[in-house]
Amino acid sequence: AGLAAEIELKIEESRYLIVQERDLPQQVESLRSLVPKVFGLEDLQKQRQLACDIYHWTGQALSKQGEDARAIKEFKNMFEVDYLTAKRATKYVSDPNISQLISTAEKQYNGTFVGYSLQVDTEPKEAVLKIDGKVAGQSPDVITIDRPKITLEIEKEGYKPEKVVLSLTEAKTVKSYVLQSVARTIHVSSDPPGAAVFLDGRDTGKLTECDLGYVPFGPHKLAVKKDRYADWEEEITVSEGAGPLSMTVVLPPKTYFSVFVWGGPESKAFIQPKALAMDKDGNFYVADDGPMKVRKFNRDRGAQLSWGDEGKAFKSLKQPSGIVIDGEGNCYVTDAKGASVTKFDKKGKLVLKWGKPGAKEGELAQPMGIAVDKNNDIYVVDSANSRIVKYSSAGVLKKTWGVPGPGQGQFYLPTAVAVTRQNEVVVVDAGRIQKFTSDGVFIDAFAKPESAEAEFKRPLGICCDGYDNIYVADAGANRVLKFQSNGRFIGSFGGNGIDPGQMMGLVAVAVNEKGSVFVLEKGNRRIQEFQPPSK
C-alpha cells in the first residue's frame, strides 16, 4: 500500500506540471521510471489503474511537445493494459488534439484504424510534399498518415515554400494551396538563332531559342553570344508576371563579306562619286562631281538613263556633296560649291532650290551630308558654319543648332548626318559622333572609343539600319565601322586596296532593309555590296 501511495503521489505531481505545461521532458522521464514499480504491485486492479494513468499522462506530455506519434503509442499502451480503465481515465479529456490522438490509439488497439487520408492539391502542380520532414509524394497526391497532427511542407522550384501544421480531425482531409511565385521563366530568342545564353556571368549551356527556368525575382545580367556577331548584354529585372518573360535579341554582325562590285577604275559608271542614297524600293542614287551629277540605278544595278531627263535636270548643280531620298521618292542634293539644296521629284525633275552662301540664318557654307526623317523634314550639315540646319520638305527653315567648338552640341567641320528609326539625329563630327533630338537637343556623344580598333581617322559618311545600329565610312582608314545605338563598338570591315572587300577613297555608306551594306569609293570609282555572314 505504501508503494502504491508513493506512485500515486508522483503521478499527481507530474499531472499537475503537465497541465501547467512545465518541465514536460522531465515529467515524461519521471512517469516512465514508475512503470516497473507499478507492474510490481500485487494488487492487480491498482496496478492496471496506475499503469493507465502513467501512460495517459505520458501521452499528454508528449502531445504537448508536438510528438504525436509517440503520444499515440503511449495511449495505445494504456488501452492494452485495461480497455475499460483507459476509457474511464480519458472520458473527460477536453483538448481536441489529444482526444483525436486517443481515438487513433483506440482504433489501433481495436484493429479498426486505417490511417488518416490527406489529399494535397497545389497550383501549380508537381510540388514536392513532405510530411514531418520526409518526402511523401508530389502534388496532387493522397497520403495516408498514422497520426492526426503533422507538419506539411510544400516545395517547388521558383515558388515560395509552404510549411503548415495540420490537425487531421476527419478520416479524409483535402487541402489546396496556391503557391506564391518567387521566380519566373525567361524565354530567350535571337536573330540569328543558335546563340549561347549566359545568366549572371554563367554559361547556361543553352542555345537560342530556349527557356531559362525559374530565374529568381530581382536584377540579373543576361548575355547572348555567337561567333562572328557582337555580344549582347543587358541588365534585366525579373518580376512577377503572367507567363514567361520574353527576351528577343538581335545580334549585329561583326564581319561582312563583299558579294558584289559594280563600277571600277576602268568603268564610266562613276567619275568622281561623292555621295550615296537608297530609296524604299531599293533603288540607288549617286551624287557625282563628273558630267552626270546625279545617277539613279535600279535594285539590279541597272542605270536609269531616262531619270532626270538624261541628266539635264542636274546641270545646275556645281559640286554635289550629299544626297537623300524621302518617303515619297523625292531626291534632295546638297551642293557644296553652290551653297544650296536642290529638290527633285521621283521622276528626277527639278522642283525647288534653296540656300545661298553665307553664315547668317538661312545661308549655307559648304553644305555636305543630308538626311531626312520620318516626317520628311530635311537635315543639312552646314559644314563650314559648324552647324546643323533643319528644313521642311518645302525648304522652309525650321531649326538651326551648333557652333564651332569641341563641347556638347558644338561642331568642328561636321561632314555627315543620319536619322535613326527613333527620329534621333546622328552627326559625324571631327573624330566623334553626336546624337540629338529632332529639335537639336543634345542626347549623347561618343568620341573616345573603347579600343584603338574603333578610332576614327577621317569619317565622311554615316547611316543607320532598322535596328538603329550606326555605320561610319572612315575615309582615313578606308573601312566601315559599326556601332550599336549607344555607341558600343561592334566591328569593322574593309581596308586599303583595290580588291573586293578592300576600299580606296571611301566616301559614303548605305544599308538596306535586309542588312546589306553598300559603300561608295571615289578612288576605285565603284560601289561594293557587303553582306553579313550566313545565319
**CATH assignment of the domain containing 227:** 2.60.40.1120
Q: Is residue 28 part of a domain?
A: yes
Average pLDDT for residues 138-150, to the nearest whole number?
A: 90
| Residue after which a domain boundary falls, among 110, 144, 163 | 110
**CATH assignment of the domain containing 455:** 2.120.10.30
Average pLDDT for residues 231-253, to the nearest whole number?
A: 90
Residue 470 has a pLDDT of: 94
Q: Looking at the structure, do residues 207 and 101 belong to the same domain, yes or no?
A: no
Q: Is the pLDDT of residue 283 over 70?
A: yes
Residue 154 has a pLDDT of: 97
Average pLDDT for residues 324-341, to the nearest whole number?
A: 96
Which residues form the domain of 469? 274-494
Q: Is the pLDDT of residue 416 over 60?
A: yes
Asked if residue 398 lies in contact with residue 377, where contact means CB atoms within 8 angstroms, the answer is yes
Q: Is residue 258 part of a domain?
A: no
Cell of 142: 493522397
Q: Is the pLDDT of residue 464 over 90?
A: yes
Cβ–Cβ contacts within 10 Å for residue 46, how many? 16
Q: Looking at the structure, do residues 328 and 308 belong to the same domain, yes or no?
A: yes
Q: Looking at the structure, do residues 94 and 129 belong to the same domain, yes or no?
A: no
Q: Is residue 519 part of a domain?
A: no
Q: Is residue 535 part of a domain?
A: no
Q: Looking at the structure, do residues 424 and 302 belong to the same domain, yes or no?
A: yes
**CATH assignment of the domain containing 133:** 2.60.40.10
Average pLDDT for residues 62-80, to the nearest whole number?
A: 92
Average pLDDT for residues 520-529, to the nearest whole number?
A: 95
Residue 535 has a pLDDT of: 56
Residue 151 has a pLDDT of: 93
**CATH assignment of the domain containing 94:** 1.25.40
Query: 3-class DSSP state for residue 188?
Result: strand
Q: Looking at the structure, do residues 137 and 28 belong to the same domain, yes or no?
A: no
Residue 250 has a pLDDT of: 86
Are β-strands 387-391 and 257-263 bridged in parallel, bridged antiparallel, or unpaired? Answer: unpaired
Residue 449 has a pLDDT of: 53
Average pLDDT, the chain: 92
Average pLDDT for residues 466-477, to the nearest whole number?
A: 92
| Residue after which a domain boundary falls, among 250, 282, 304 | 250
Q: Looking at the structure, do residues 174 and 191 belong to the same domain, yes or no?
A: no
Residue 448 has a pLDDT of: 55
Residue 418 has a pLDDT of: 98
Q: Is residue 17 part of a domain?
A: yes
Host H or E run for residue 24: helix 24-32
Q: What are 86-115's pLDDT values in tens digits?
A: 999 999 999 988 998 898 899 989 988 878
Average pLDDT for residues 243-262, to the nearest whole number?
A: 90
Q: Is residue 214 part of a domain?
A: yes
Local confidence band at 324 (pLDDT 50, 70, 90 cut-offs): very high
Residue 421 has a pLDDT of: 94
Buried b (16+ CB within 10 A) or exposed e, 498-535: eeeebbbbbbbbbbbeebbbbbbbbbbbbbbbbebeee
Q: Looking at the structure, do residues 369 and 310 belong to the same domain, yes or no?
A: yes
d(CA 338, CA 333): 11
Q: What are 420-454's pLDDT values in tens digits?
A: 999 999 999 888 899 999 999 999 998 655 556 66
Residue 379 has a pLDDT of: 98
Host H or E run for residue 335: strand 331-335
Residue 451 has a pLDDT of: 54
Residue 361 has a pLDDT of: 92
Q: What are 114-127's pLDDT values in tens digits?
A: 788 999 999 999 99
> Count of domains in the chain?
4
Which residues, at least 6 apart from 120, have a Cβ–Cβ distance to it below 8 Å?
129, 137, 139, 140, 141, 142, 143, 152, 154, 175, 176, 177
Residue 312 has a pLDDT of: 78
Q: Looking at the structure, do residues 105 and 133 belong to the same domain, yes or no?
A: no
Residues of the chain with pLDDT > 90: what percent? 73
Q: Looking at the structure, do residues 219 and 345 belong to the same domain, yes or no?
A: no
Average pLDDT for residues 505-524, to the nearest whole number?
A: 95
Residue 453 has a pLDDT of: 64
Residue 487 has a pLDDT of: 87
Q: Looking at the structure, do residues 173 and 188 belong to the same domain, yes or no?
A: no
Q: Looking at the structure, do residues 330 and 433 belong to the same domain, yes or no?
A: yes
Q: Is residue 410 part of a domain?
A: yes
Average pLDDT for residues 277-285, to the nearest whole number?
A: 94
| Residue after which a domain boundary falls, among 78, 110, 142 | 110
Q: Is residue 284 part of a domain?
A: yes
Q: Looking at the structure, do residues 155 and 197 belong to the same domain, yes or no?
A: no
Average pLDDT for residues 290-311, to the nearest whole number?
A: 83
Residues of the chain with pLDDT > 70: what percent? 98
Local confidence band at 1 (pLDDT 50, 70, 90 cut-offs): low
